[in-house]
Amino acid sequence: MNKQDFAKQRGAMVSRQIAGRGVRSPLVLDAMRSVPREAFLPVNQGEFAYEDAPLQIAEGQTISQPYIVALMTEALGLQGGEKVLEIGTGSGYAAAVLSRIASSVYTVERIDQLATKAAATLAALGYHNVHVLHADGTLGWPDHAPYDAIVVAAGGPAVPQALKAQLRIGGRLVIPVGPDRQLQELVRVTRISANEYKTEAIADVRFVPLVGEQGWGSSVPAPPA
């Protein structure tokens, strides 16, 4: 399949799976149209790049369903020019989408092999405003805080306090949370003041576990495929 075929599939994906399911932000729709999802997948998965489903990448992890990437990005309420923190780099695809709207994206991945591969892919594709760190994502990336928005691509038992502390006042944090490692509720947390946060429910979702000091802990297995 050539670039033109992928571009046609990408346009159809945005129209049907994303705009067709209620995502309205022009910034998000344009970002989803511009990022080649196939470039973030293993070669043998390219033909499935624009299906309405998550896909396996490596290390037992997944690249999120395009609609979920768009939904979570829209929930951040980005207007353009923000500084964004992403937890769970994975393939780097969602970071690339964020980078088309934000001025800078800082993304943290706990699995070294994924962080290295994502950084190389993002650099090769010219997403130079994305910065990748191999570290415990539940602790955030305090060196560049506060952030205008934080998005977490893994499900935790609760919102990590470290991430809440790194959110600027007025900023928004989108994360899947819940006591079940297999099913979570996607919520948006808005920082109202130094010690006050407002939480809103968005949707029921299913993500890999948020592993780390302020997540499930390092021994939690990934959910079955």
Secondary structure element (H or E) that encloses residue 149, with its range: strand 147-152
Catalytic residue list contains 64:
yes
Catalytic residue among 25, 64, 99, 104: 64
- Chain centre to alpha carbon of residue 142: 18
- For 76-109, give the DSSP string: TT--SS-EEEEE--TTSHHHHHHHTTSSEEEEEE
Helix, strand, coil percentages for the chain (3-state, nearest 5): 35, 25, 40
Instruction: Say if strands 83-87 and 167-180 run parallel, antiparallel, or are unpaired.
Output: unpaired
Which residues make beta-bridge pairs with 175? 187
**What are 130's strand-pairing partners?**
105
Residues catalogued as catalytic? 64
